[in-house]
Structure 1
Amino acid sequence: MKRNGSAKWQGGIKDGSGAISTGSGALHAYPYGFSSRFEGVPGTNPEELLGAAHAGCFTMALSLILGEAKLTAERMETTATVTLEQVEGGYAITAVHLKLEAKIPGADQATLERLAAQAKAGCPVSKLFNTEITLEATLVS
C-alpha cells in the first residue's frame, strides 16, 4: 500500500511560496511558506500535517486495541503537538506530544493508559518518528 503527498515551491526560502497536496485530494494546492511555518501566518506547514497524521494514526490504532479488549469508544479526540526547534545545522523535530481525551464506557483510567501506550508504540506513524513521543490520556465521563 502506498499513499502520496506532494509539494510545489517557487522562489527563495523567505520570499517564496508553496502548495501541499495529498493524493486523495483531501488537500489540493494548500498554501504554505516560510511565514506560515516559522512566523504564525495563516497557512499550513509540514509539522502540523505530521501532527494530524500522527493523531489520526494513533487514534485508529487505539480503536483497534480497544476492540480487542472488548471496549468501544463513544468518543476520542487526539491532538499531536509537534515541536520544531533550531539545532546545530538547521531545524529538527525534537518531540511529539499526544494528548487524548476519550469517553470509553466500561474503561477505567489505568486501562486507558495501558491500551493508549500500546497504541502509541504500535502506530505506524509513531514508528516513523525518531524522537521522543509523549502521551497524555484522560478518560472523561
Structure 2
Amino acid sequence: MEKKSLYHTEIENQAGIAGNVRSLVGGEFEQLTSSPLQAVPGTNPEQLLGAALATCLNATLEAEEKRRNLPHQAIVRVAVDMGRDYQGFQFWVRAQVKIPHVERQEAQKILAVCERRCPVAKLLAGSSNVSIELVNEFAFGEELK
C-alpha cells in the first residue's frame, strides 16, 4: 500500500526531561517537560504516551459509535508505569475502555474494530507490555510493584 500522509507534524526536544518539547510544523504545540520521578512542573513521556493512546483510541471509538448510529459515550483510561529492566527502563501500558450504552458482546466487537483501526493502538500492538481491555467499571488501583 502506498504511503500518503493526511497530516504531518514534526516534534523537537532539545533538553530531554528538563526543558520543552515543541512542534516545528503541524500546528502549535509546546509543553514543559520534567522527570516523572520529581515533583516539578511539566509533563513526561509516560503522560504523553498515555494521552496519545487514550485520545486516539477514544476518537476511533467515537467514529465507530457514529457509524453504528450510537451516541458517543465511550471512555478510555490509560495507566502507564515505568520501571527498570536489564537494559535501563521500560513502560507497561494498560488501557481500560468503558462503553456503557451497549451490551457487552457488542461493546467487545466495537473495541476489536477500534483496536485494528486506531493508529496508536496499532503502533503498540504486539507488545507484551501493552494491554487494552473492556471494563464495566474502571479499576486501576496503585502502580505496579
Deviation (angstroms), 1:108: 1.3
SS in 1 for 2:136: strand
Distance 1:31 1:7, change over 3 A: same
Does the alignment pair 1:4 with 2:10? Answer: yes
Corresponding residue to 1:138 among 136, 139, 143: 136
Distance 1:60 1:136, change over 3 A: same
* 1:34-68 CA distance string (max 9 Å, x none): 3xx22343320011111111111111212222333
TM-score by length of 2: 0.71
Q: Percent identity of the aligned residues?
A: 21
As a proportion of its length, which structure holds more strand?
1
Corresponding residue to 1:24 among 9, 27, 47: 27
**Number of residue equivalences:** 126
Query: Partner amino acid for 1:110?
Result: Q
Runs of 4+ in 1 over 4 A off after TM superposition: none
Corresponding residue to 2:113 among 118, 129, 133: 118
Supply the RMSD in Å over aligned alpha carbons: 2.4
Distance in 2, Cα, partners of 1:21 & 1:137: 35
Deviation (angstroms), 1:138: 3.1
Q: Which runs of 5+ in 2 are unaligned?
A: 138-145
Contact 1:59/1:76 (<8 A) preserved: yes
Query: Partner amino acid for 2:97?
Result: L
Query: Partner amino acid for 1:17?
Result: A
TM-score by length of 1: 0.73
Query: Partner amino acid for 2:93?
Result: V
* 1:65-91 CA distance string (max 9 Å, x none): 2333x2323433212112222101111
Distance in 2, Cα, partners of 1:108 & 1:7: 44
Distance 1:6 1:73, change over 3 A: farther
